[in-house]
Structure 1
Amino acid sequence: MNILMISDVYFPRVNGVSTSIMTLRRELKALGHTVTLVAPAYDMGEAPEDDIVRINGRPVLMDPEDRLMSLKSLKALPQMLSAQSFDLVHIHTPFLAHYTGLSLAKAFNIPCVETYHTFFEEYLYHYIPFLPKALMRYAARHFSRRQCAQVDGLVLPSIAMDEALKRYGVRAFSKIIPTGIELSDFSHCDPDGFRRTHGIAPERPVVVYVGRVAFEKNIEFLLLMLSQLRHSIPDVLLIIAGEGPAEAKLRKTVEGLNLAANVLFVGYLERATELPACYCAGNAFVFASRTETQGLVLLEAMALGVPVVSTAVMGTRDILTAGRGCRVAEDNPVAFAATLQEVLTDSTLRARLSIEARQHALDWSAPQMAQQMLAFYQLAQQQFMRSAQLAEV
């Protein structure tokens, strides 16, 4: 197949959507398919790639890490890409990419599918806090119903996201296909080297958070939990790997809770070696986001054999409810701290969870998920052709 993907975000912008697109592109190309991606230009030294069309833009007002792609350049895409004979458009984000993807599919008379990566009902409130939360919830639900009805197929990364959209009244043709994990990328690491680089003693108890440092990730909850855990494990260290708009506020929270000696911000890490080493430097991986449509970082930690302690809310439930390689914690700081303390103080438990985690991650391999996506593409094509034939009658 010749697939055209479009997204409002991609590397070097680091987040779960970028990772999901990169993983799917790589697997589809490995299977012999052609994938062209339209994504923003960030002017951050990204290397040109023949199969990525970069669109110039400007920083987004409320989130300057992101880019708003140029409308003029987007409108020129049908003519620019007309000779490539695409079979299908796959949209990955609901902003300008959504409407441009619809236009491209119409111009080329091909089906259009979309992956619903972000739980906007909770996400929007964090970035437009001056509007009532009830209004934001209503707007997000209306927005989602409208957009989901405009595509020929909808990809959902988790059962929880499927349930949420059904509550909204979405009735689109859809399938649950999680983002797969490239197991080879998370099969080895150097935790001792990471600890040496950052001056962390080999015996010090360490917990790790990896992800965007954003308000919707609920990292402040982890800091409140840490202030409780410190009473029983005084030298515990929380590593926060990532960057984002919540960092300044979180640093102030660290100061206010007197946690400066217990928290280490390390920023974004290079994915090939530094990131796996960071995961493995932890005795446990911690997570408490309430807005995840899947929670890919949980699988990355598990693939490396790092026990996970996390709440199970929204998409993370699919990964955690089996109870393999993890401990599900209650959604309050005191109970979470107690669960984490059990894991950190019981080496036998950690060893068992580590083995379970690696086994569990095998069920989420990227090649399996890419095969499911291809099958869904073919179903979307068939449905598109049937609809076209009915319209001619």
Structure 2
Amino acid sequence: MRIAFIYDVVYPYVKGGVEKRLYELGKRLARKHEVVWFTLKWWEGKDTIEKDGIQIISVGDSKTLYHGGRRSISEAIYFAWKMLLKGSLGDFDVIDCQEFPYLSCYTSRLNLPKGASFVITWHEFWGKYWKDYLGSAGIVGVKIEKGLTKLTRHHIAVSKITKDYLKEIGVSAALVPNGIDFKKIDKIKKGERSFDFLFVGRLVRHKNVDFLLRSIAHVKREHPDITLGIIGDGPERDNLELLARELGISSNVEFLGFLENHEEVISTMKSSKVFAFPSLREGFGIVVLEANASGLPAVVVDHPLNASKDLIVPWKNGFVSKNSEKDFAEHLIVAYEHKKRLGKTAKSVAKKYDWDLIAKELEKYYRGILNG
């Protein structure tokens, strides 16, 4: 098969869940198939490069991704325009376009090669959340998002929650989840830094780290010497450091910033005890599975837009807390007290999401639509 991915950013030059998924699946599919990735240019040198068997083609220069803590609308428009100007994409069997940043799905569809199957992969479905995100202007986001469902009959959802949202509006989507490199994670050794609780993610509002800090303040009353490590950076960092001081937990919390080496993140997970992840909006939650594969039970929050809650099997790989700081704190304590047993069973859950298995599922789906 000749397979094309369409997404505006590319791993490892930008490190996020969608680009990580495409890279991991792409390099595995490239062992038997031709895989091309149309994106913007995040690297130096030639416009077309090859990485792990994937041919990566830039259609334009990279642009600033975030503005005011949100994904840039102008960047989305620019990428969509460049995909339109690209013209014919070439002779492909399958073109897999990521639903985000939306507009590029429309322009890529206009240039669909004859005989190619057009697939939209959904990492999230926002629906009514658009109005919370953009206010009255959110109605535009609602219409643009829903319009994607009319572009093709081939849809993939990466999480159960997204699949269910699509089903509510009459769209049938195949579930092909994200994954992890379980075998690679299993080989990484414990790091020198150890924490009782660990968070990994961008420090932006929807990651809910202020909620986590308040929960840790509750935990401290019962366990005064507990420690929390926060791996990640973002526009909320200064506010969060100030909040930690105000809560009287700054001596318990260490802000580590971004760790450039992913192995260092995993080694820190392996030397810690519980993964604390109170994010309110996740299209999947790969980092939860990485924590599980590292032997950490995870505590997540029950929220309508948080797909990571569907990864949790209570008392096996973690817990789903109410959207309450006190309840989250209580679940952190339970996970901490049962870490040894939960850590073993968490690894067995994570093993089922190895990228090798997910790549076979995606290949099977592609073959299925090509065979009608």
- With the shorter chain as reference, the TM-score category is 0.7 to 0.9
* Residue in 1 that maps onto 2:86: 77
Amino acid at match of 2:152: V
**Which of 100, 104, 110 is residue 97 of structure 1 equivalent to?**
104
What secondary structure does 1:230 align onto? helix
Is residue 300–residue 309 contact of structure 2 (8 Å, CA) maintained in 1?
Answer: no
**Which of 332, 339, 342 is residue 340 of structure 1 equivalent to?**
332
Amino acid at match of 1:249: N
Residue 160 of structure 1 deviates from its aligned partner by 1.5
1:373 and 2:365 correspond: no
| Counterparts of residues 293-312 of structure 1 (less than 5 Å) | 293-312=283-302
**Greater shift in the superposed pair: 275-284 or 68-77:** 68-77
* TM-score where L is the length of structure 1: 0.82
**Which of 332, 335, 340 is residue 351 of structure 1 equivalent to?**
340
Amino acid at match of 1:178: P
1:53 and 2:61 correspond: no
1:155 and 2:156 correspond: yes
Cα gap change, 1:283 to 1:56, in 2 (>3 Å) = same
5+ unaligned residues in a row in structure 2: which ranges? none
Residue 190 of structure 1 deviates from its aligned partner by 3.6
Residue 147 of structure 1 deviates from its aligned partner by 0.8
* Residue in 2 that maps onto 1:13: 14
* Residue in 2 that maps onto 1:110: 116
Amino acid at match of 1:23: E
| Counterparts of residues 198-209 of structure 1 (less than 5 Å) | 205-209=195-199
* Residue in 2 that maps onto 1:224: 214
Cα gap change, 1:72 to 1:333, in 2 (>3 Å) = closer
Distance 2:23 2:182 in 1: 14
Distance 1:292 1:166 in 2: 18
Cα gap change, 1:240 to 1:355, in 2 (>3 Å) = same
What secondary structure does 2:316 align onto? coil
Q: Deviations over 1:37-84 (max 9, x none)?
A: 1122236899973211123142143458865545664334235x43xx
| Counterparts of residues 236-251 of structure 1 (less than 5 Å) | 236-251=226-241
* Residue in 2 that maps onto 1:387: none
Cα gap change, 1:18 to 1:70, in 2 (>3 Å) = closer
Distance 2:129 2:46 in 1: 28
Distance 2:326 2:346 in 1: 25
Is residue 160–residue 317 contact of structure 1 (8 Å, CA) maintained in 2?
Answer: no
Residue 177 of structure 1 deviates from its aligned partner by 1.1
Q: Deviations over 1:70-128 (max 9, x none)?
A: 5664334235x43xx211110122334322321332x4441111111134348756754
Residue 353 of structure 1 deviates from its aligned partner by 0.6
* Residue in 1 that maps onto 2:308: 316
Residue 319 of structure 1 deviates from its aligned partner by 1.0
Amino acid at match of 2:148: Q
What secondary structure does 1:14 align onto? coil
* Residue in 2 that maps onto 1:328: 320
What secondary structure does 2:120 align onto? strand
Amino acid at match of 2:38: V
- Percent identity (aligned): 23
* Residue in 2 that maps onto 1:254: 244
* Residue in 2 that maps onto 1:183: 182
Q: Deviations over 1:235-263 (max 9, x none)?
A: 22221212233333323322332332222
Residue 361 of structure 1 deviates from its aligned partner by 0.9
Distance 2:298 2:79 in 1: 41
Distance 1:64 1:317 in 2: 23
Distance 2:249 2:324 in 1: 19
Amino acid at match of 2:94: L
Moved over 6 A (4+): 44-48
Residue 230 of structure 1 deviates from its aligned partner by 1.5
**Greater shift in the superposed pair: 229-238 or 43-52:** 43-52
Is residue 84–residue 111 contact of structure 2 (8 Å, CA) maintained in 1?
Answer: no
Residue 5 of structure 1 deviates from its aligned partner by 0.4
Is residue 102–residue 148 contact of structure 2 (8 Å, CA) maintained in 1?
Answer: no
Amino acid at match of 1:250: L
Distance 1:109 1:244 in 2: 43
Q: Deviations over 1:190-215 (max 9, x none)?
A: 4342x1xxxxxx6xx52111122222
Is residue 206–residue 281 contact of structure 1 (8 Å, CA) maintained in 2?
Answer: no
Distance 2:173 2:127 in 1: 20
* TM-score where L is the length of structure 2: 0.86
**Greater shift in the superposed pair: 15-24 or 372-381:** 372-381
* Residue in 1 that maps onto 2:202: 212
Residue 303 of structure 1 deviates from its aligned partner by 0.8
What secondary structure does 1:191 align onto? coil
* Residue in 2 that maps onto 1:164: 165
Is residue 15–residue 212 contact of structure 1 (8 Å, CA) maintained in 2?
Answer: no
Cα gap change, 1:154 to 1:65, in 2 (>3 Å) = closer
Distance 1:213 1:278 in 2: 18
**Which of 115, 126, 140 is residue 120 of structure 1 equivalent to?**
126
Residue 266 of structure 1 deviates from its aligned partner by 1.7
Is residue 315–residue 342 contact of structure 2 (8 Å, CA) maintained in 1?
Answer: no
